[in-house]
Amino acid sequence: MQVELYDTTLRDGAQMEGISLSVEDKLKIAAKLDELGIHYIEGGWPGSNPKDVEFFERAKSLKFKNAKLAAFGSTRRVGGSVEDDANLKALLDAETPVVTLVGKANDVHVRDVLETTTEENLAMIADSIRFLKEQGRTVFFDAEHYFDGYFSDADYALQCLKSAASAGVDAVALCDTNGGTITKKMVEALRAARDAVDVDVQIHVHNDAGLAIANSLAAVEEGVSAVQGCINGYGDKCGNADLAAVIANLQLKMGISVISDEQLAHLTEVSHYISEIVNVVPAPFQPYVGASAFAHKAGLHTDGIIKAAQSYQHIPPELVGNQNRLLISELGGSRGLQAMVKSAGIDVELTRDDARKVLEQVKQHESEGYQYEGAEASFEMLVRRSLTGYTAPFELEDFWVVQRRATETKEHGREMQTEAMVKVRVGDEMIQTAADGVGPVNALDAAVRKAVVTFYPQIEHIKLIDYKVRIIDSAAGTGASVRVLIESTDGDHVASTVGASTDIIEASWLALNDALEYWLLER
């Protein structure tokens, strides 16, 4: 069974809230989709905006190995002629081998949105397709709102498809534009379409009812020739069918080869690459390619994964370029903790008894508000401090933080001034010093560095790059516990640490102390 992939990330996906693509962005994404093995890449709507016109002009120099570029546009205007239609002219000027035309396949939309007759809509579909076919283009027809139209007036929805077929269309794409058709109803309407026309049928569904992937796979079982969708499920409202999940399911669950195994092994990389370009944080719980797709937290699960990887994973994650992760928490077991230490590259050997002791500390700390997921440096420090013979490079014996509002000035108004005083022990030596800062955490950081820099000059290379505060029990109001997360770097790598307390300064110090101590050990 041959099924092709039609990606519309650059057009339909770009309609997602928060996404705005430059021409450079679109060119990079198109090249990456071609590498993945996508068969058709819809580049945009050249008749709608100057950016898409520029994209198609520059895309003429792209040398695709796998994909064909498609331009998207609508059927001719109501009452107009194809020869004078600016939209159709722009589609031809894009010089793509494939053109996808969208037209209404719903009697309600024809009357209330297009504000024309059902007969004129049929003529618009046929005229536009015939015109583009005469210019030598492969033409697909996106039957917009087909499924809603079928259940409104089935005969008319099918007439729209027949009009496209009679004009020589290469394929009709059935669109669940509102994304609310349940699978059983979708299959009913799809079967009617396949019986009505003797051309290829494609599927294009949205995810407003959470059924886009399921409906796409069901459509494949019904014999569609292509699945349309977007990488990572981008698109307006709730998005389009997630092509990453569609590809993996077709290939690994249904035995339908749509790309090579080598290309499939780059699926996670492609997903994350595109999310980086569109500036949308990758969804951790996304099937197959998400960071949590193969993450294991419960002790029963981690123990099973260590003994037999398939026990709690439906596929080997390497098939899609992902990897399993063992998460440290109070739900885990000692065997999983040992495996976590090893997989994290921490150069210590823990016995089962050592691991049990560390696990008890994890449980105690998490009851106080800590969370070691995403705070790998703090976890490493917890492990190292649990071992006999470990000596910290320095210890903070005591500190004071003083804040006051400065005298108001014309230039700056009233400003907060902060000073931190610390007592730090390094070996047998006690150092007491003070430093100013723009806030209590900054002042505390500066004072500790000032105290230990003579002993550890490399501390000057450690920079804090992110600082986040999470309220743990908001019902406690201003007495709530807080979790502080700090990201720091030595210039080459980034590490995350965590601290928790009912006092925000103490929580900040605990995270900061882990960060400084971690990097001093690393360097």
pTM: 0.71
pLDDT at position 119 is 96
Across 8-36, average pLDDT:
93
CA count, 13 A, side-chain hemisphere, 469? 16
- Is a pLDDT exceeding 50 seen at residue 476? yes
Beta strand 226-229 with 200-205 is: parallel
Architecture of domain 395-522: 2-Layer Sandwich (3.30)
- Indicate the pLDDT class of residue 331, thresholds 50, 70 and 90: very low
User: Sign of dihedral through CA atoms 204, 250, 270, 272?
Assistant: positive
- Is a pLDDT exceeding 80 seen at residue 333? no
C-alpha 105/C-alpha 103 separation (Å) is 7
- Residues 235-282 have pLDDT tens digits of 999 999 999 999 999 999 999 999 999 999 999 999 989 988 888 878
Across 191-220, average pLDDT:
97
4-278 folds as: TIM Barrel (3.20.20)
User: Sign of dihedral through CA atoms 173, 176, 177, 179?
Assistant: negative
- Residues 61-102 have pLDDT tens digits of 889 999 999 999 999 999 999 999 999 999 999 999 999 999
C-alpha 268/C-alpha 320 separation (Å) is 6
CATH 3.20.20.70 location in the chain: 4-278
Q: What is the DSSP letter of 282?
A: P
What are 259's strand-pairing partners? none
C-alpha 63/C-alpha 81 separation (Å) is 34
- For residues 158 and 477, the model is more confident at 158
CATH 3.30.160.270 location in the chain: 395-522
Across 148-167, average pLDDT:
97
